[in-house]
Structure 1
Amino acid sequence: MRLFVKHRSEYRFSEPQARLVQLLRLTPGNHAGQSIVSWRIDVDRDARLKPARDGYGNETTMLYIDGPLDRIAIEVSGEVLTEDRAGMVIGSTETLPPLYYLQSTPLTKADAALIDYVETLGLPAEPQPRAHALAEALADLFEPVAVHPATDQSAAARFAARAADPQGNAHVLIAAARTVGLPARYVAGHLYRPDESDGHAAHGWAEIWIDGYGWIGFDAFEGCCPRDEHVRVAIGLDHREAAPISGLRIGGGHEALAIDVHVGPEPAAQD
């Protein structure tokens, strides 16, 4: 599938900022099933952009801006060719061994309730059917909801609520997979939903390592393995480590963030 992506983030500050430093994980990589035709990053003011690669192998860009500034807009856009590989990730840049992804983080720590639930599932002994059975069980368990950005997205909180957006759903699946000895990680990306009129969505899902197969994606929120509607951008132990934008600012006051994402078979309409 040929997909066009446009991701625009606009920050507004209540007080002028002296300096802004941001780490951008907004550039997808090439692997079997995903080829980047074109990709660019635009900033609406003078900025220094330094491309790099982080410890997970993600393509990153460091953004440096000197103030004073009261707003900034960062826009990435590009064209991607995708192919349905039944969730299998082949040819991606891998810098860490699978065992690294068995460790928990505050967002992916399984509490006693989640551990007890997983034990009741009677999962198969073989890793591949075990991973699929776990993903299917969690897909049926949760009510899909949109949550406020300030909502606790930890696996324990989302499991207790039995309701999650893609980010929270992925955290629960990652935590559950690690409890049964399956290395798991978070994937930040985009999803084209052809049944929705606008087709706009930032998205997240999980990948689980299965001996003999490698990394396989599981989108428990959508109830499927990633298909050609998915665009894979960045990975990490959890969402925080794969977040599209993170960084710091030098200046007082507070900030407001507005995000607009377009994903679809046609380029986004020009403003």
Structure 2
Amino acid sequence: MRLQVHHRTHYVFSQPQARLVQLLRLTPASHEGQNVVSWRIDACRDARMKRQRDGYGNLVTMLYVEGPLTELTLTVTGEVVTEDRAGVLAGEAETLSPLYFTQTTVLTAPSPELVALAGEIGEGEPLAKAHALNTLLHERMTLLDFAAEGEPTAAEAFAAGEGIARDLVHCFIAVARVAGFPARYVSGHRYDPDATEATSHSGHAWAEVYVEGYGWVGFDPAHDMCPTDAYVRVAIGLDHREAAPLSGQRTGGGHEHLAVDVAVLPAVQGRVGQ
């Protein structure tokens, strides 16, 4: 599938900022099943951008903007050709051993209830166990369209029985690690042909687990499936904080309001925004 992604981020500050520094994890890499045809990041005003790879191998951009600054718009546009590989990742530059992804974080620490869930997936072939976990979480938790205030941990989200894709992924990772799988968080995009409005699409998230004999395999508990050619893989980390599209700091007082709009469409339908 040939997909076009349009990602717009608009910052508004209640007081002028002297400086803004942001780490942007917005650029996908090419690998087997994903070929980036074109990709660019633009700012509405003078800005310095430095592109590099981080410790996970993610393509990142450091953004530096000098003030006074009261608002800023970043626009990301690109086209990616994808192939359905049943969630199996290949051809990606791996910088870390799978064992690195067995460590827990604050957001993915397992509660007794999540440990018990690991017991429910039973014994058997590892890939089948990972699929069983994906289905269990999809059935046990309600997917929300919008995030509430704050960032719940896996334990808090599972106790509530609901969350956005990010929260279901944290639960999946917590249980997968208890079950002995190296597991990591993936941020990216998903095209949904059943969406009523293209602008309703937002960034998506799923998990990858390392399965002997297969390598890294993706699982999306929000939709009880493995990533297909409708998915664009962008960044990885131990949890959401390490793979979030935007993070950084600013110099200046007041409050910050951030609005993000993402549209994902088949490229054959024409360019987004026209």
TM-score class normalised by the smaller sequence: over 0.9
Q: Deviations over 1:52-84 (max 9, x none)?
A: 000000000000011000000111110000010
Give the counterpart letter for 1:204 in structure 2: A
Matches within 5 A, 1:179-194: 179-194=178-193
2:137 aligns to what SS in structure 1? helix
Cα RMSD between the aligned structures?
1.1
1:152 aligns to what SS in structure 2? coil
Matches within 5 A, 1:153-164: 153-164=152-163
Q: Which residue of 1 aligns with 2:175?
A: 176
How many Å apart are 1:269 and its aligned residue? 1.6
Confirm whether residue 61 of structure 1 aligns to residue 61 of structure 2: yes
How many Å apart are 1:122 and its aligned residue? 4.5
How many residue pairs are counted as aligned between the two chains?
269
Matches within 5 A, 1:112-191: 112-119=112-119, 121-191=120-190
Confirm whether residue 81 of structure 1 aligns to residue 77 of structure 2: no
How many Å apart are 1:159 and its aligned residue? 0.5
1:195 aligns to what SS in structure 2? coil
Q: Deviations over 1:176-231 (max 9, x none)?
A: 00001100000000011001122322100000000110000000101100001110
How many Å apart are 1:149 and its aligned residue? 4.8
Q: Is the 8 A contact 1:107 1:238 kept in 2?
A: yes
2:118 aligns to what SS in structure 1? helix
Q: Is the 8 A contact 2:154 2:170 kept in 1?
A: yes
2:32 aligns to what SS in structure 1? coil
Q: Which residue of 2 aligns with 1:22?
A: 22
TM-score normalised by structure 1 residue count: 0.97
Q: Is the 8 A contact 1:153 1:167 kept in 2?
A: no
Distance (Å, rounded) in 1 between the aligned partners of 2:18 and 2:194: 44
Distance (Å, rounded) in 2 between the aligned partners of 1:2 and 1:122: 36
Confirm whether residue 52 of structure 1 aligns to residue 52 of structure 2: yes
Can you give the 5+ residue segments of structure 1 that lack an aligned partner in the other structure?
Answer: none
Matches within 5 A, 1:181-260: 181-199=180-198, 200-260=201-261
Q: Is the 8 A contact 1:24 1:244 kept in 2?
A: yes
Distance (Å, rounded) in 2 between the aligned partners of 1:70 and 1:48: 17
Can you give the 5+ residue segments of structure 2 that lack an aligned partner in the other structure?
Answer: none
Q: Which residue of 2 aligns with 1:268?
A: 272
Distance (Å, rounded) in 1 between the aligned partners of 2:117 and 2:214: 26
Distance (Å, rounded) in 2 between the aligned partners of 1:10 and 1:166: 22
Q: Deviations over 1:120-153 (max 9, x none)?
A: x152233211111111111111111134352333
Q: Deviations over 1:149-173 (max 9, x none)?
A: 5233310011001112110000000
Q: Is the 8 A contact 2:5 2:262 kept in 1?
A: yes
Q: Is the 8 A contact 1:192 1:201 kept in 2?
A: no
1:74 aligns to what SS in structure 2? strand
Q: Percent identity?
A: 53
Q: Is the 8 A contact 2:154 2:174 kept in 1?
A: yes
Distance (Å, rounded) in 2 between the aligned partners of 1:32 and 1:76: 23
Distance (Å, rounded) in 2 between the aligned partners of 1:256 and 1:28: 26
Give the counterpart letter for 1:27 in structure 2: T
Q: Which residue of 2 aligns with 1:99?
A: 99
Distance (Å, rounded) in 2 between the aligned partners of 1:20 and 1:74: 13
Give the counterpart letter for 2:230 in structure 1: E
Distance (Å, rounded) in 2 between the aligned partners of 1:149 and 1:254: 19
2:132 aligns to what SS in structure 1? helix
